[in-house]
Structure 1
Amino acid sequence: MALRYYYTGQFAALAAVSERTLRYYDRVHLLSPSHYTEAGYRLYSEQDLARLQYILALKFLGFSLDAIRECLQTGPQRLPEMLALQKAMLNDKRAQMDLVIKTIERAEQHVLDGEESHDWEPLVQVIRVMQMEQQNDWQNKYFSPEQRAKMEEISQSAYSEEARQKLAARGPWTEADQQRADEQWGWVFSEQRRLIAAGADPASTEAQHWVSVRRDLLQQFTGGDPALAAGLGNWMKTFSELPESERPQPKLGPGIPLMSDEERIFSKRAEEIYTQQHGEY
């Protein structure tokens, strides 16, 4: 029986995803087409569809792309453990939503009682406490209290008062911010390892694309601000000088890997070539 293949548009319609999603999954090495036509068009197979459905199922359950990539690489061995962790996270969210609903019900009763003087301060206070708890809850999934204290200590020494004020003005770092950073930087770290393992030339198109993405992410964080750029450099220097046992690595996500000598040489050479072609930041 002949294998059936689908062009990108056909495959996207079949799987109910956008072509942009397929291109992104290919770029971050989650799902690549099985074949290409002589003209270079992508061709997807039934096996690709099964893999995509697995990816979409895990994404629906709230898994990050890095966690999905790990599931794909390790197979079903770690899936029960990761499902249990995701279930615990969802139970926490359900408990928070139950608290929100009870708070709303109390507010409704407050209005229905028809009191002339509405004292909303208790309700406002509850909302503030809930927001603080939600912030702490997601951070506790990534870091222990000791790790969070260590990261705060590093930040206090790395960033100037001016830089800390600018970071504070952006508002709190949310779980969505953390997940987005995990996905973006997870690709940067894994792509660098892949390029080196493949013996890629630092001047190659792929390596220069890697430099471009890495620079864009750094630019997004610093906004080109010298104080933030200096603070980030100080933070990474301090972090790298800590004994390995004292480095606060997250329980979820790709972590903060330190480059090997080979990775450092590759990165430096690729950056030099990029700078020669495009200039400084």
Structure 2
Amino acid sequence: MSGNMLTIGQLAKRAGVTIRTLRYYDKIGLIVPSDYKEGGHRLYSIDDLIRLQQIQSLKFIGFSLKDINNLLELSVIEEHDLTRSIAFKKRELIAEQERILQMIDQLDHMTKIITGYEKIDVKLFCFIIHSILFEEENLNEAQEKGSIHNFRSEARVKIDKAFFSMFMQLKKLVENDISPESEEAFHFCSQLTNLTNEMLSTVEMADLKSALPFDEFNILNPLTDEESTFLRDAFAYMSKKFGSQ
């Protein structure tokens, strides 16, 4: 038995794959151990390592394991097959790159929204994340061109940060046991109404469903039952007060 033989663990480490992967390759006949030691433990040669590196190279550009097995048996490949596979892999990587850049934009947007607060309500933050991801996944290309849907625009950052601030204020009002019929609550409702009207003025009617802070598909709710009740009672009081004037 040659001293150059590698155990399955050594081969896995050298090639940067898992032992489970090598066992699977053995099972389908892609890489069969060159020898076995006592107890049936697999042993691999340097040629096996070279074959594994070839498999990894072909797998990287998108060839299936079945295709790789055939290619290694033939030892040659048609230029158009190789070019086509490379082009396909490139498209995959570009799509992945775009997805990563989109995620970076989303993370930057979230950071801008929460900047300035020492403590962030977890329920509210999860609601924001879910809303952003839902909007990205469900808006069509035409909608994304509008400023309200463009996470890179200052207008979008401004309005989302303002809504976040309002929700944080609402939670503080309830936490401090402020009455929904107080001047403080009245002022809050007026601000929220103005902010909502400002947001609605920036979007087309067809976009309102996706632009509103709440929608029927967003099962996450940033408010507790107590906060929802406060908000409802505060707006009811505001309507009553305006009606009596």
| TM-score between the two structures when normalised by the length of structure 2 | 0.41
| TM-score between the two structures when normalised by the length of structure 1 | 0.36
Larger Rg: 2
